[in-house]
Amino acid sequence: MKQNDIRKLHELETAELTQKLTELRLSFVSLRMQKFASKLANVAQVTHLAKDIARVQTVLTEKMKAATA
């Protein structure tokens, strides 16, 4: 994920972030299946996607904490 994409995550609403997280998780499961079936050419995609999921979760947590504070 590029720096601009990370900045855009902070601009999204909580509902949009939740939707993006769901999409990323579905993609992650699909990539893992392909990896275990030896059909995935670029195995590093799994790691990058996991990091993207963590980034979205971090932004969601920040927004939740800001809302309760």
pLDDT in tens, 10-47: 999 999 999 999 999 999 999 999 999 999 899 999 99
Count of structural domains within the chain: 1
3-state SS, residue 39: coil
Determine the straight-line distance between the first and last CA of the chain, rounded to whole angstroms.
29
- List Cβ<8 Å contacts ≥24 apart for 45-53: 48/1, 49/24, 51/1, 52/1, 52/24, 53/21, 53/24, 53/25, 53/28
- pTM, two decimals, is 0.89
pLDDT score for 61:
96
Residue 47 domain flag:
yes
Rounded Cα–Cα distance for residues 48 and 65 (Å): 26
Whether the pLDDT of residue 63 is over 80: the answer is yes
pLDDT score for 47:
96
Give me the domain span that covers residue 40: 16-68
Residue 48 domain flag:
yes
Residue 5 domain flag:
no
